[in-house]
C-alpha cells in the first residue's frame, strides 16, 4: 500500500483518481485554496500540483471538503433499515457514523446488535458501533433484554465496535455500581459516550472522573460550557425532536468560545427530515446562519469530530489519510455532487440489504387487556394528579399537576390527554397510565412501539375506547405507528423490524411517514412537535422531569414513582 502511495505522492505513478483544480477546504489550517487531490487506493496520496491520473475529475468551481462525521445517532430512530439509512447519510455527505444501537438492543439484545453490524459491514461508509451501556436504561421499566458487562464483553473488540454507548445511569456511576463500572473497563474501548442531562458541579466531576468523554444532552449554553470546561466533549444535537443547536451555538458566538472540543450530532432524526435537509450538513448550515464562521462549523463537523471520537486518519484532507471527501458546488448549500469513501465514489451505488432474522420480527407480545385499562374513573375529586408537560423543541418535560375533579373537563377540551405504556416484550400485563399536557391531541388516539428506551407500546388518547383500538392495531401489525379516530383506524405504518424499523425502501417509507404525521396534526397534535418522536420520549425515565413507563408515572429528579 505505502509503496503505491509514495510513488503517487512523488508523481512517479498516476493517481487512481485525480481531482483537478478544486478549492480544498483545509480544516487544520482554516484555509481554502486551489489544489489538486491525488487518490491512491483507499487513501489520499497528495495535495498540491499533479498531472496524471487513471481517472481525471475536473473540480473547477467546486470545493473539496472532508467527509462529514455524525458523532452520535441511533439508526433505528430513522425507522429505516440500516442500508437505507446509510444511503441517506451518504446523499448529504456523511461518510462516518458513530451509532449506539441501544434501541434494538432493548428489544432484541445481542442478536439485535449483531444484526446492525452485519447489515452495514459491506456498505461504503465508516459505521462505528458503541456498545449499549444501559439495557435497560433503568430498573423502572420492563425491557426486552438485559445486557450486563459479561454479555457486552462478547462483542468488545470485534470489527465495527468502537466504544461504549451513552452512559445514562448517572446515579449508578455516582454510587459505584459494580456492573456499570465493569462496562467502562471493557477492552478495546476508544470512546465512552455520556448522557448527563442537567448534571453539574461535583456530581459532574465525579461522572467525568470515570473516563466518560462525550455528552450530547446539553440544552443550555451554561450547561454546555460547564461540561466543556471539565473536558467533556460537547456533541451539539439537532434532531427531529431535540433541537439544541441554536442555544449552544449562540453561546459559542456570543462568548467567542473555543469549539475545538465540540462537534455535531443528530441523536434521533426521522428519515423524512434527513431526506429533506440532511443531518450534519443541516447542523453546519444552521450554525453558520447563527453567526458561527463557516470554517469553524466545518471543522466541528470533520476534524473535531474525528479527534473527539478517537477516529484515526479521518476528518481532514491529508496525505496518507483515508480518502473520504466530498465535492460541492457551494459551501453555503453543501449539496455534494460526488462523495468518496475510501477513494471510490459512493453516491448512486445500490447498497446491499441484509434481511433480519425471523427472531427480530413478531416482537410485540402484550398480555390481554381491555378498554377498562384506560378508564377515567381512576381520577378522584379531592386528589391531585401529576401531569407530564411537553416543552416544544425539547425532550425534557415539566412536572405539572391537576385536581382530579378537572381531569374529565380538560380531557374533553383537549388541554390534556391520557397517556399509557403497555409492556410488550414478555406479556407481563404491566400498564402505566398518566396524564399529558402540550401534546395537542383533541380527538382520537396515537400509538407506537417506538418508546425510548425500552420500546414498550405507548399510546396517547382522549378516550379509553380509541386508546384500546389503537393498542390492538399496533399488536395486529406487530409494531409501528397508528392513528385512531372515533373507534376507526385512520392510518397505520408498520415497522416490521423489532417494531422499530421498516424494511420498505425510502421512496415508500418517507411518503407514508409524512402522510401519517399530517394526519396526526389533523387530529390536533401540535405542529410544533413531531407527533411520534415526541410521544416516544415520554417513556424515557432518564431525562427530567416527569415520564411514564409500563410501571407508572416516574419522577426523574426524585428517582421514584408517583402514587
DSSP 236-252: EEB-SS-B-HHHHHHHH
Cα distances (Å, whole numbers) of residue 442 to 411, 519, 522: 8, 12, 9
3-state secondary structure of 519: helix
* Cβ-contact 205, 174 below 8 angstroms: no
* Cβ-contact 346, 126 below 8 angstroms: no
Q: What is the pLDDT of residue 470?
A: 98
* Cβ-contact 366, 427 below 8 angstroms: yes
* Cβ-contact 45, 38 below 8 angstroms: yes
Q: What is the pLDDT of residue 21?
A: 97
Residues 508 and 500: their CA atoms lie apart, in Å, by 16
Residues of the chain with pLDDT under 50: none
DSSP type of residue 158: S
Partnered with residue 433 across adjacent β-strands are 420
Listed residue (556, 285, 267, 513) closest to 394, CA to CA: 267
Listed residue (473, 480, 484) closest to 504, CA to CA: 480
Listed residue (69, 315, 312, 309) closest to 194, CA to CA: 309
Phi/psi for 150 (5° steps) reads -65, -45
How many residues are recorded in the chain?
Answer: 563
Burial of 349 (0-12, 13-18, 19+ CB in 10 A): middle
* Cβ-contact 187, 165 below 8 angstroms: no
Q: Does the CA dihedral 91-280-191-166 come out positive or negative?
A: negative
The alpha helices in 321-419, defined as continuous H runs, are 407-413
Listed residue (432, 434, 439, 435) closest to 390, CA to CA: 439
Listed residue (447, 437, 467, 441) closest to 521, CA to CA: 441
Partnered with residue 31 across adjacent β-strands are 26
Contacts (Cβ under 8 Å, ≥6 apart) of 32? 23, 24, 25, 26, 63, 295
Listed residue (507, 484, 483, 506) closest to 493, CA to CA: 483
Listed residue (427, 456, 395, 363) closest to 136, CA to CA: 456
* Cβ-contact 538, 554 below 8 angstroms: no
Residue with cell 462525550: 214
Q: What is the pLDDT of residue 362?
A: 87
And the C-alpha cell for 12? 512517479
Partnered with residue 553 across adjacent β-strands are 548
Distance, CA of 148 to chain centre: 23
Task: Give all strands of the β-sheet with 397-403 in edge-to-edge order.
Answer: 397-403, 384-390, 431-437, 416-422, 457-461, 445-448, 480-485, 488-494
Residues 553 and 112: their CA atoms lie apart, in Å, by 28
* Cβ-contact 101, 517 below 8 angstroms: no
Contacts (Cβ under 8 Å, ≥6 apart) of 175? none
Residues 151 and 337: their CA atoms lie apart, in Å, by 43
Listed residue (516, 460, 462, 466) closest to 486, CA to CA: 466
* Cβ-contact 459, 447 below 8 angstroms: yes
Cα distances (Å, whole numbers) of residue 372 to 73, 375, 473, 551: 38, 5, 17, 17
Listed residue (264, 165, 151, 158) closest to 212, CA to CA: 165
Strands 56-58 and 17-26: parallel
Q: What is the pLDDT of residue 233?
A: 98
And the C-alpha cell for 81? 433499515
Phi/psi for 426 (5° steps) reads -125, 10
Amino acid at each position: 500500500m505505502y509503496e503505491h502511495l509514495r510513488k503517487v505522492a512523488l508523481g512517479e505513478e498516476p493517481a487512481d483518481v485525480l481531482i483537478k483544480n478544486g478549492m480544498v477546504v483545509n480544516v487544520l489550517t482554516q484555509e481554502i485554496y486551489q489544489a489538486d487531490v491525488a487518490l491512491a487506493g483507499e487513501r489520499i496520496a497528495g495535495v498540491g500540483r499533479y498531472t496524471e491520473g487513471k481517472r481525471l475529475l475536473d473540480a473547477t468551481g467546486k470545493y473539496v471538503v472532508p467527509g462529514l462525521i455524525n458523532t452520535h445517532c441511533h439508526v433505528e430512530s430513522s425507522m429505516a433499515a440500516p442500508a437505507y439509512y446509510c444511503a441517506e447519510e451518504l446523499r448529504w455527505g456523511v461518510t462516518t457514523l458513530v451509532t449506539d444501537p441501544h434501541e434494538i438492543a432493548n428489544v432484541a439484545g445481542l442478536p439485535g446488535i449483531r444484526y446492525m453490524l452485519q447489515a452495514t459491514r459491506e456498505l461504503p461508509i465508516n459505521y462505528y458501533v458503541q456498545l449499549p451501556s444501559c439495557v435497560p436504561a433503568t430498573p423502572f421499566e420492563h425491557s426486552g433484554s438485559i445486557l450486563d458487562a459479561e454479555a457486552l464483553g462478547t462483542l468488545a473488540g470485534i470489527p465495527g465496535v468502537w466504544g461504549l454507548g451513552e452512559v445514562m445511569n448517572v446515579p449508578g456511576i455516582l454510587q459505584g455500581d459494580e456492573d456499570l463500572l465493569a462496562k467502562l473497563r471493557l477492552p478495546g474501548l476508544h470512546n465512552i459516550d455520556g448522557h448527563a442531562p442537567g448534571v453539574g458541579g461535583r456530581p459532574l466531576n465525579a461522572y467525568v472522573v470515570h473516563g466518560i468523554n462525550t455528552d450530547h444532552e446539553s440544552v443550555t449554553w451554561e450547561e454546555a460550557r460547564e461540561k466543556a470546561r471539565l473536558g467533556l466533549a460537547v456533541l451539539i444535537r439537532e434532531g427531529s425532536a431535540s433541537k439544541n443547536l441554536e442555544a449552544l451555538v449562540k453561546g459559542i458566538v456570543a462568548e467567542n468560545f473555543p469549539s475545538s472540543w465540540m462537534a455535531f450530532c443528530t441523536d434521533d432524526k426521522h428519515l423524512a427530515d434527513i431526506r429533506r435537509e440532511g443531518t450534519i450538513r443541516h447542523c453546519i448550515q444552521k450554525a453558520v446562519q447563527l453567526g458561527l464562521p463557516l470554517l469553524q462549523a466545518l471543522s466541528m463537523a470533520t476534524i473535531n469530530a474525528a479527534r473527539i471520537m478517537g477516529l484515526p486518519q479521518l476528518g481532514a484532507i491529508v496525505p496518507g489519510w483515508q480518502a473520504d471527501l466530498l465535492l460541492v458546488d457551494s459551501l453555503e448549500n453543501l449539496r455534494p455532487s460526488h462523495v468518496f469513501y475510501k477513494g471510490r465514489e459512493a453516491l448512486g451505488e445500490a447498497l446491499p440489504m441484509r434481511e433480519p432474522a425471523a427472531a427480530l420480527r413478531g416482537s410485540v407480545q402484550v398480555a390481554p387487556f381491555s378498554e377498562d385499562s384506560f378508564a377515567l374513573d381512576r381520577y378522584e375529586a379531592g386528589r391531585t394528579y401529576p401531569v407530564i408537560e411537553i416543552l416544544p423543541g425539547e425532550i425534557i418535560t415539566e412536572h405539572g399537576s391537576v385536581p382530579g375533579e378537572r381531569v374529565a373537563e380538560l380531557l374533553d377540551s383537549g388541554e390534556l390527554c391520557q397517556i399509557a405504556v403497555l409492556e410488550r416484550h414478555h406479556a407481563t400485563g404491566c400498564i402505566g397510565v398518566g396524564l399529558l399536557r402540550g401534546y395537542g391531541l383533541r380527538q382520537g388516539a396515537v400509538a407506537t412501539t417506538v418508546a425510548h428506551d425500552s420500546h414498550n407500546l405507548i399510546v396517547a388518547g382522549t378516550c379509553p375506547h380509541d386508546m384500546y383500538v389503537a393498542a390492538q392495531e399496533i399488536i395486529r401489525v406487530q409494531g409501528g405507528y397508528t392513528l385512531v379516530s372515533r373507534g376507526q383506524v385512520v392510518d397505520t405504518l408498520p415497522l416490521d423490524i423489532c417494531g422499530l424499523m421498516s424494511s420498505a425502501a425510502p421512496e415508500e417509507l418517507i411518503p407514508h411517514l409524512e402522510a401519517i404525521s399530517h394526519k396526526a396534526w389533523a387530529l390536533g397534535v401540535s405542529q410544533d412537535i413531531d407527533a411520534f418522536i415526541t410521544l416516544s420520549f415520554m417513556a424515557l425515565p432518564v431525562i427530567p422531569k416527569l415520564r411514564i413507563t409500563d410501571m407508572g408515572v416516574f419522577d426523574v429528579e426524585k428517582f421514584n414513582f408517583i402514587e
